[in-house]
Amino acid sequence: MKTLILPLAAATALAAGAASAQPYHGGWTPIERRLERLDHRIDQGVRSGQLTPAEAERLHRQFERVVRIEARYARNGLSNWERRDLDRRFDQLAQQIRWERRDGDRRYGWNDYPRY
């Protein structure tokens, strides 16, 4: 009986952890997941040529700034205000990444420089 309970408890704990990592409709997406997504989108934009090196560097600096703020907030646990602030910052960075990837500046070809 004991040999059955331990694996069952471990499986339940894993399932609960996976379920808690999934965002629910209208809920909070875990910070680590949002950071992974944003970093991936920047890297993907560089690989596809949608982001120039200057754009990617600027976005990485903004990304690192959000990471530092999140680390500072997380020291004592996140309050509701801190969660909302991080959420707003994540949304702004995501919007900036989206805009930079679609602005027509390309890494390859004649359009390596921003338009004025």
pLDDT in tens, 49-96: 888 888 889 999 999 999 999 999 999 888 999 999 998 999 999 999
Q: What pLDDT score does 50 carry?
A: 87
Q: What pLDDT score does 27 carry?
A: 62
- Domain range spanning residue 87? 33-101
Does a structural domain hold residue 22? no
Pick the more confident residue, 46 or 25: 46
At 93-112, the pLDDT tens digits run: 999 999 988 876 665 554 55
Which one, of 93, 106, 109, lies nearest residue 53 by Cα? 106
20-28: average pLDDT? 48
Under 8 Å between Cβ of 70 and 93 = no
Look at residue 8 and tell me whether its pLDDT is greater than 60: no
Which one, of 109, 110, 100, lies nearest residue 54 by Cα? 100
Pick the more confident residue, 4 or 36: 36
State how many domains the chain has: 1
Phi, psi of 103 (to 5 degrees): -80, 0
Q: What pLDDT score does 32 carry?
A: 84
Q: What pLDDT score does 40 carry?
A: 92
Does a structural domain hold residue 49? yes
Under 8 Å between Cβ of 93 and 67 = no
Does a structural domain hold residue 14? no
